[in-house]
Amino acid sequence: MNLNVNIETVGKLSEHKACITKIIFSDDENYILSSSLDNKVCLWNVNTHLHINTYKDVHKKGINDIALFRDNTKFFSAGNDLYVYLWDTLSNKILNRINVNDKINVIRLSTNEKLLFCSKNNAVNIYDFRERDFKKKNNPLQIFNEAKDWISDFIVDDFEVYTCSIDNILRIYDLRMGKLMSYDMKSSILSIDITNDKNYFCVNLIDNTIKLVEKNSGNK
């Protein structure tokens, strides 16, 4: 079934000078945060379409992902340098810096906003960012490194972490049970999402297909 939808643009947000890598709504849906390969993060007002603030002069090799706290007071930025930065939204100050020793493709906050999950090549590392020490070598609390190739996307749920990889495998880490479930999608996985009841997940594959999978049975 083909649906022809008429699109009306209600606002245009123009500030970045290079490819925009991520856009996210704030939890209250009043703001948008955007990151770019121009080494900048921009904050926008959704209702007025106005550019509020720019966070810059820290990253040098492009920003790949951002993660905003629910109260809008802080956010993380990560990219192709060796660090992940924690920003104060109002003051533009760097509150913390995590030394990850590699470029980061995807970052996610835990649901309690106390841990940071970062994807590095074929692994997801978990960091406790609450201790502020810029000179400290930040060792991850835990590492999920079962993937055989680059991790393209992942989701952090209350007690589970879903990772998808170019190695065709979707992995679900049960943090409470210490159990790993694996699903072979027969093609490289680019992105993932899960239903609200957590009974199904949906994956976008490099072979131009989308698969909806029942988690417990693995039926597609």
> Mean of the pLDDT values across residues 116-131?
86
Q: Is residue 203 part of a domain?
A: yes
Q: Assess whether 140 and 153 both reside in one domain.
A: no
Clarify whether residues 155 and 89 are in a common domain.
no
Residue 132 has pLDDT above 90, yes or no: no
Within a domain: 9: no
Strand 83-88 relative to strand 94-99, pairing: antiparallel
Q: Looking at the predicted structure, is the pLDDT value of residue 9 above 60?
A: yes
Which amino acid is present at 108? R
Span 13-53, pLDDT tens digits: 788 999 999 999 999 999 999 999 999 999 999 999 899 99
With beta carbons less than 8 A apart as the criterion, state whether 180 and 173 touch. yes
**How many domains does the chain fold into?**
2
Quick one: pLDDT at residue 173?
A: 97
Strand 94-99 with 107-109, pairing:
unpaired
Average pLDDT over residues 120-132: 83
Long-range Cβ contact pairs of 21-28 (< 8 A, separation 24 or more): 21/62, 21/63, 21/64, 21/65, 22/63, 22/64, 22/65, 22/66, 24/66, 24/67, 24/68, 26/68, 26/72, 27/68, 27/70, 27/71, 27/72, 28/72
Out of 130, 145, 160, pick the residue that ends a domain.
Answer: 145
pLDDT score of 1: 60
pLDDT for the residue numbered 164: 95
In Å, how far are 8, 11, 202 from 5, measured between CA atoms? 10, 18, 24
Comparison of pLDDT for 152 and 216, the residue scoring more: 152
Task: Looking at the structure, tell me whether residues 28 and 129 fall in a common domain.
Answer: yes
Are residues 156 and 75 located together in one domain of the fold? no
6 inside domain: no
CATH number at residue 37: 2.130.10.10
Q: What residues make up the domain containing 35? A: 17-145
Q: Which of 121, 145, 169 is the last residue of a domain?
A: 145
